[in-house]
């Protein structure tokens, strides 16, 4: 039976429970333990797929096509695990399952209640990710203690210790210890109140992760331990660090791995040397002390909330790690380009990236940015919508077509990007029906799909193999009706689906590095294994920088 670590949060949101849970996973994996993680979100949406990026940040997509919370991206970046539909549950998903069972008559006339039916469903969801292949299951509870939405989840994990045995469950609580600069003191009272709230629910935390700007002295730790009913060595300082990839190293220095082993009585692993975190130390060194620097412009429309592009910014960082380079990000609102032109915003950058997105707002600015990259020979990387807009720009300005996507203009004369009515789903082996519904409706291509690469292309050189698999999240496709004229004018189709029907990657001839892909490569990039396309993009940008310096 696996051991379970439940990570809760208190005082304020955005303390970094996802990073903390992922870092604990990384630390335990470095000890040789087999780890998986799960996120339980208290919001009522069935999944975050319909939420605005401004509301909830990016939507992370798994191989099996599940739209999930962005914290699952942290889990995959910090550990070797690959998340699935079972690694993210919401209140909406839990209630939907219970109501479906009630309508089907599964409860045999019982009055359906939060306890035991909802809590039992939550516990079943937790057990759905557990298996003999794992030693540790880390479960993060979204929200903060005291939120009414979180109560069923907290009650479920309270019961869980009784169900599987006290020796198999550990409660880890992340809380804030603010530093008051005016008096030069750390204040433990918010942590005390947070733990008091948690204990009132029936959960006594075993370990406290105390987020703070400055180190916690022994006296502060002992004070927190006394008032929160934990051992002093169970008070772990979660100090602000320069890069999130330093968190596993920080937790190791605090002895968190040994503490977890001690509390779980795990004694069949060699504890003498501790976890091997040398790879993480190398990553941190490359981030803090790189040999090179490059500047990348991200031309988007959600730049007011950086979490909307969380996996993307991390993947660019990973590309920098692979090239021993610091990557400076220059955020450019595509609507500003529409007003003032590309030159004012993009003249000093070494590479230009247009990310994914939905809707027509800011599209003309993205197209103008792509034109600037094409004409000025600046390395360009278009992802999802960034590929589609690159095709539109090329069609208009090189092929002289009246081109657009039917997403933005349903009556366009030359729909180079359009909504296919039928397509073969290589992941499920079935024919999918697409309906011309609103943007939030219809069928999306979600999850991992195979792609065949054309040799002697940027894509092939980056991957070093002909057959790849990447994750998708989009509806609109390249219109093969225009493939001939675009290729005749210099567009290179460098990646297609195995049946040749779906264009996955496009490039340009006679350009240092210009590539657009339908999929989201950022979802598979990791600091210990940077994605090939991001590695190649940053390498090309560094070469461009070298040419002009």
Q: How far is CA 20 from the centre of its chain?
A: 15
| 269: pLDDT strictly greater than 60 | no
What b/e readout covers 454-477, taking b as 16+ CB neighbours within 10 angstroms?
eeebbbbebbeeeebebbbbbbbb
In the chain, the percentage of residues whose pLDDT exceeds 90 is: 81
Length of the chain: 549
| 443: pLDDT strictly greater than 50 | yes
Please report the pLDDT score of residue 549 as a whole number.
Answer: 56
Alpha carbons 287 and 281: distance in angstroms, whole number: 10
Q: Distances from the Cα of 143 to the Cαs of 12, 40, 151, 310, 462, in angstroms? A: 9, 9, 10, 19, 40
| 475: pLDDT strictly greater than 70 | yes
The model's pLDDT over 129-181, given as tens digits with 9 standing for 90+, comes to 998 899 999 999 999 998 999 999 999 999 999 999 999 999 999 999 999 98
Alpha carbons 497 and 549: distance in angstroms, whole number: 40
| 182: pLDDT strictly greater than 60 | yes
**268 given a catalytic annotation:** no
**318 given a catalytic annotation:** no
| 271: pLDDT strictly greater than 80 | no
Please report the pLDDT score of residue 439 as a whole number.
Answer: 41
pLDDT band at 265 (very low <50, low <70, confident <90, very high): confident
Average pLDDT over every residue of 511-524: 97
Rg (CA), the chain: 25
The model's pLDDT over 48-102, given as tens digits with 9 standing for 90+, comes to 888 877 677 789 999 999 999 999 999 999 999 999 999 999 999 999 999 999 9
Contacts of 92 by beta carbon, 8 Å cutoff, 6+ apart: 43, 44, 45, 46, 47
| 438: pLDDT strictly greater than 70 | no
**Taking all residues of the chain, what is their mean pLDDT, rounded to a whole number?**
92
**Paired sense of beta strands 503-508 and 491-496, if any:** antiparallel
Active-site position among 140, 470, 522, 539 = 522
- DSSP per position, 325-365: EEEEEEEEEHHHHHHH-SHHHHTT-SEEEE----SSTTHHH
Active-site position among 210, 228, 384, 517 = 384
Alpha carbons 355 and 353: distance in angstroms, whole number: 6
pLDDT band at 307 (very low <50, low <70, confident <90, very high): confident
Strands (E) across 93-193 are located at: 136-141, 169-176, 179-180, 185-186
Q: Which domains does the chain have, with CATH numbers?
A: 3-276 (3.40.50.300), 290-418+479-495+506-547 (3.40.50.880)
**384 given a catalytic annotation:** yes
pLDDT band at 547 (very low <50, low <70, confident <90, very high): low
Please report the pLDDT score of residue 306 as a whole number.
Answer: 72
Full-model pTM: 0.93
pLDDT band at 434 (very low <50, low <70, confident <90, very high): low
Active-site position among 117, 318, 511, 520 = 520
Please report the pLDDT score of residue 433 as a whole number.
Answer: 66
pLDDT band at 490 (very low <50, low <70, confident <90, very high): very high
């Amino acid at each position: 039976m696996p051991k379970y670590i439940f990570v809760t949060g208190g005082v304020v949101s955005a303390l970094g429970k996802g990073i903390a849970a992922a870092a604990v996973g990384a630390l335990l994996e470095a000890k040789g333990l087999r780890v998986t993680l799960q996120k339980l979100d208290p919001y009522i949406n069935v999944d975050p797929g319909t939420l605005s990026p401004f509301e909830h940040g990016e939507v992370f997509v798994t191989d099996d096509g599940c739209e999930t919370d962005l914290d699952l991206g942290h889990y995959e970046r910090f550990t070797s695990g690959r998340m699935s539909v079972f690694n993210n549950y919401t209140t909406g998903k839990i209630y939907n399952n219970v109501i479906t069972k009630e309508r089907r008559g599964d409860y045999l006339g019982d009055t359906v209640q939060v306890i035991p039916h909802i809590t039992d469903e939550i516990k079943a969801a937790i057990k759905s990710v557990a298996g003999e292949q794992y030693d540790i299951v880390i479960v993060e509870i979204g929200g903060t203690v005291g939120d009414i939405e979180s109560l069923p989840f907290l009650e479920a994990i309270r019961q869980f210790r009784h169900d599987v045995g006290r020796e198999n469950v550990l409660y880890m609580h992340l809380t804030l210890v603010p530093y008051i600069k005016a008096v030069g003191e750390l204040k433990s009272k918010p942590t005390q109140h947070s733990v008091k709230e948690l204990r009132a629910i029936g959960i006594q935390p075993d370990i406290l992760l105390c987020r703070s700007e400055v180190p916690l002295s022994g006296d502060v730790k002992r004070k927190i331990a006394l008032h929160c009913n934990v051992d002093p060595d169970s008070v772990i300082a979660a100090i602000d660090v320069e890069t999130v990839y330093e968190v596993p190293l920080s937790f190791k220095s605090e002895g968190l791995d040994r503490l977890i082993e001690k509390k779980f009585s795990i004694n069949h692993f060699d504890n003498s040397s501790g976890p091997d975190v040398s790879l993480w130390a190398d990553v941190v060194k490359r981030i803090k002390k790189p040999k090179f620097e490059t500047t990348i412009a991200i031309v988007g429309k959600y730049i007011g909330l950086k979490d909307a592009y969380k996996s993307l910014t991390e993947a660019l960082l990973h590309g920098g790690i692979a090239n021993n380079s610091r990557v400076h990000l220059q955020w450019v609102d595509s609507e500003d380009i529409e007003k003032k032109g590309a030159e004012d915003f993009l003249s000093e950058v070494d590479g230009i990236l247009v990310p994914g997105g939905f809707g027509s707002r800011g599209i003309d600015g993205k197209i103008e940015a792509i034109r600037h990259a094409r004409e000025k020979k600046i390395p360009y990387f278009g992802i999802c919508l960034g590929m589609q807009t690159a095709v539109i720009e090329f069609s208009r300005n090189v092929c002289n077509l009246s081109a657009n996507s039917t997403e933005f203009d349903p009556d366009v004369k030359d729909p180079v990007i359009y909504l296919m009515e039928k397509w073969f789903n290589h992941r499920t082996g079935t024919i999918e029906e697409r309906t011309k519904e609103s943007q939030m409706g219809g069928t999306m291509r979600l999850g991992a799909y195979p792609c065949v690469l054309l040799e002697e292309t940027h894509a092939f050189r980056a991957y070093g193999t002909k057959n790849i698999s990447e994750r998708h999240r989009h509806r609109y496709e390249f219109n093969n009706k225009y493939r001939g004229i675009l290729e005749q004018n210099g567009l290179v189709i460098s990646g297609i689906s195995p049946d040749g029907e779906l264009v996955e990657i496009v490039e340009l001839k006679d350009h240092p590095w210009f590539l657009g892909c339908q999929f989201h490569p950022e979802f598979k990039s990791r600091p210990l294994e940077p994605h090939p396309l991001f590695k190649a993009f940053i390498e090309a940008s560094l070469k461009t920088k070298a040419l002009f310096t």
